[in-house]
Amino acid sequence: MTRVLYAGTPETAVPPLEALLAAGLDVVGVLTRNDAPVGRKRVMTPSPVARRAEELGLPVIKSGAYDDEAHQAVTDLAPDIAAVVAYGAILPSRALDALEHGWINLHFSVLPAWRGAAPVQRALMAGERELGASVFQIEKGMDTGPVYKTLTETVSDDDTAGTMLHQLSISGGALLAEVIGDVSQGRIVATPQSGEPTYAAKLTLQDGRIDWAGSAADVAAQVRGVTPEPGAWTELNGQRVKMQGIRQVHDAADPAPPGTARLEHRTMTVACGVGRVSVERLQPAGKKMMAAADWARGAGQLEQNTVVFQ
């Protein structure tokens, strides 16, 4: 039976690991990033993949970079193929050349679209309503290798980067297991990527700042893409206000300046460059997350349209 090494780190990479095992593949070990500080107390914590692998009784290799020690540990496991899902470190040539069937990656886009660290987030921010996943052969370039198989999933108005990543990790995990079986049996050949690539840079905190000057559709798309991380936010009186559950409710021009909030039928809405969005929840500085309408009812200025988010 083909011996499989699994490389992954975040929570999104857990379902694909479970999919490989459910498919009956011989997973001989897991490669993941080192423990990292978590929370206010900065407690050193294993990655989600490390925790799940340990629960499953799998050998775990922890490495922040694919160094000599990691290479030797991988070699000792004697895998024939490696499956990668968001491992988070660059693989050198000696790693790529060491295994009979190489390293195969599950990437959350239909390549060559959205190569890079945040494909789902960037695609949602761009307003795309169909996302995908690709299983491809890793080579030296970033997400440039030939593709074995792809799939697509439809985005609903309620979906965010968090929900779509979870959905794609499940369907993509099944696809990854299928491809590994095909590769090990010589039943499939990867096809070179074609078309103009786009790129998905890692998100920063500034990506979460809502641009009220954009259209209502653009604002809703931006918020879907930055939820749950880094999170959507705006400013009021120089203080940051976090927002969740934003939807487009009007697409016509609004006379109020962008960022102006008001109550409409017990719902808080905010004017955009074109149209308005509803806001389900918000968190003022120093307070807990609350229903936006409750906050709005307590802000008497809304009646005169004097609350303007920046």
**CATH at residue 22:** 3.40.50.170
pLDDT of residue 14: 98
* 168/219 same-domain check: no
Q: Is residue 169 part of a domain?
A: yes
pLDDT of residue 151: 98
**Are the CB atoms for 18 and 42 separated by under 8 Å?**
no
For range 141-167, the mean pLDDT: 96
Which DSSP string do the residues of 101-127 spell out, in sequence order? T-EEEEESSSTTTTEES-HHHHHHHTT
Q: In this model, does residue 230 exceed pLDDT 70?
A: yes
pLDDT of residue 209: 98
pLDDT of residue 302: 60
Note the pLDDT tens digit of each residue in 234-266.
Answer: 999 899 999 999 999 987 777 889 999 988 878
**Number of compact structural domains in the chain:** 2
Q: Is residue 143 part of a domain?
A: yes
Residue 57 CA neighbour count, 13 Å, CB half: 2
Q: Is residue 310 part of a domain?
A: no
d(CA 262, CA 36) in angstroms, rounded, equals 43
* 30/137 same-domain check: yes
Last residue of a domain, one of 169, 199, 229: 199
Q: Which of 42, 16, 40 is nearest to 32 (CA)?
A: 16
Q: Is residue 96 part of a domain?
A: yes
Q: Is residue 195 part of a domain?
A: yes
* 260/282 same-domain check: yes
* 51/181 same-domain check: yes
For range 289-300, the mean pLDDT: 82
d(CA 138, CA 114) in angstroms, rounded, equals 16
Last residue of a domain, one of 161, 179, 199: 199
pLDDT of residue 46: 92
* 19/154 same-domain check: yes
pLDDT of residue 305: 58
pLDDT of residue 212: 96
pLDDT of residue 310: 86
Q: How confident is the model at residue 303 (pLDDT cuts 50, 70, 90)?
A: low
Sign of the Cα pseudo-torsion (115, 116, 121, 127, in order): negative
Which DSSP string do the residues of 201-253 spell out, in sequence order? PPP-GGGGB--TTSBHHHHHHHHHHHTTTT-EEEEETTEEEEEEEEEEEE-S-
pLDDT of residue 250: 81
Q: How confident is the model at residue 300 (pLDDT cuts 50, 70, 90)?
A: low
Structure-block tokens of residue 256: 């109020």
Q: In this model, does residue 122 exceed pLDDT 60?
A: yes
pLDDT of residue 172: 98
For range 166-175, the mean pLDDT: 98
Residue at 190: amino acid letter: A
Q: Is residue 223 part of a domain?
A: yes
Average pLDDT score, the chain: 93
Q: Give the range of the structural domain holding residue 287, as residue numbers without chain letter.
A: 205-304
Q: In this model, does residue 47 exceed pLDDT 80?
A: yes
Q: Is residue 93 part of a domain?
A: yes
Q: How confident is the model at residue 279 (pLDDT cuts 50, 70, 90)?
A: very high
* 29/12 same-domain check: yes
* 178/82 same-domain check: yes
* 168/21 same-domain check: yes
Least confident window among 35-49, 72-86, 114-128 = 35-49
* 178/192 same-domain check: yes
* 37/15 same-domain check: yes
* 52/175 same-domain check: yes
CATH of the domain at 278: 3.10.25.10
- Classify 222 in phi/psi space as left (phi over 0), alpha (psi -120 to 50) or beta: alpha
pLDDT of residue 293: 87
Note the pLDDT tens digit of each residue in 125-145.
Answer: 999 999 999 999 999 889 999
* 149/223 same-domain check: no
- Between residues 224 and 157, the one the model is more confident about: 224
pLDDT of residue 299: 64
Last residue of a domain, one of 199, 226, 255: 199
